[in-house]
Amino acid sequence: MNNNPIRKSYLVFGQPQIDDDCINEVTEVLKSNWIGTGPKVHAFELLFKDYKKRSYALALNSCTAGLHLALLGLGVKQGDEVLVPSMTFCATVNTVEHVGAKPVFLDCDLRTMNVTLEEIKKKITPKTKAIVIVHFAGRMVKETEAIAAFAKENDIYLIEDCAHAIETEINGKQAGCIGDIGLFSFYATKNITTAEGGMLITNHQSVAEKVKILALHGMSKDAWKRFSDEGYKHYEIEYPGFKYNMTDVAAAFGLAQFPKLDAYHQKRAVIWKKYQKELKNLPVVLPDEPDSNEIHAYHLFPLLLDTDKVNISRDQLLLALHQENIGTGVHYRAVHIQPFYVKKYNIAPSDCPNANYISDRTFSIPFSQYLTEQDADDVINALKKILL
């Protein structure tokens, strides 16, 4: 094997696309001297609300904050159970702990890595107050509409974790618009970024009003305006809230990037096709292609290492790619096998066998609109060098 690395410079996994438009928008905010929550945040909320055709869109400092506030806004509390995927980022589950409820772990489909209605029906109990589904890697949960109908029939709330799924649709319906609440992430690695940030959307007025207050210390509505040029306004504490608001600096990123959402999506679609073509003969399982009734957000390109055909483990492969100057990610090590949850709930790996299987084999390769064709070629050649 050639010991010289494929690349001279390191290809960072999930590098964001920051262009002059973004820099100029942020600079405008800095020059305005209003850098906290203000008019840019409001404009970003309106833009997102119109895009998703929801009654309310609330900008936050993270999708995690949104998950926490969604549970509180729906009244989930101690003694309740919340069904959550095991194949997800830990924030999806941690926030259930934060409100004092019990997470009940759902296994996933082995190919889509998404939850199924069948699994939900197995795990539901009289204590189930809410179901959280994750549209994994940008692929819609195929049965979202059926899950929503089942939840409604059983008087259970449905929360859609759309951290990977801004552009995602199925049967013409957008991710985040089928359940009671949809949550989105604008973290640095996401399809559009605000460096850190999130958005909560809903059609429920009471939920939106409570979330807006909880997100800024529990202060009365529009408390952020108390230092504006309209003159000082007193606030009142209506709940013991949190510091979850988005800033105008962050919103400026979103305002600059949002108009390019479709162009970015098209760029990633090209890379997706290239990877599917060039990697098909390697000892890996490629992600399924989207069906004709789906729009895939193309957020991640997760593969499964076929450990029966190679003599290295997934972690050894990650190290080998690192030595070729290729950054990688793991999406994810299942939450139900994480030490805190194993100890607290006495969970066994076999409780979610598909998620456990994926945990040992999954790895994600660089995949974003930032990648050049040469970057993609380097990833492909590095994998061929290591696995063939």
Query: Which residues are annotated as catalytic?
Result: 190
Contact present, 80 and 130 (Cβ < 8 Å): yes
Burial class (CB in 10 A: 0-12, 13-18, 19+), 79: exposed
Q: State the first-to-last Cα distance of the chain, in angstroms, to the nearest integer.
A: 10
Residue 314, token pair as written in the block = 């997934």
CB 329 within 8 A of CB 267: no
Nearest CA among 290, 292, 291, 368 for reference residue 329: 368
Nearest CA among 252, 247, 195, 188 for reference residue 216: 247
Check if the beta carbon of residue 36 is closer than 8 Å to that of residue 246.
no
Token readout for 253 is: 């990123």
| Dihedral (CA of 256, 261, 263, 265) sign | positive
Burial string for 325-339 (b: 16+ CB within 10 Å, else e) reads bbbbbebbbbbbbbe
- What CA–CA distance (Å, rounded) separates 166 from 168? 6
Q: Are strands 169-170 and 294-295 parallel, antiparallel or unpaired?
A: antiparallel
In a 13 Å sphere around the CA of 89, the CA atoms on its Cβ side amount to 15
- Residue 244: CA atoms inside 13 Å, Cβ hemisphere, count? 26
Distance CA 248, CA 145 (A): 35
Rounded CA separation 71/217 (Å)? 17
Cβ partners under 8 Å of residue 156, min gap 6: 124, 128, 129, 130, 131
Report the relative pairing of strands 157-161 and 128-134 from DSSP bridges.
parallel
Cβ 92 vs Cβ 134: under 8 Å: yes
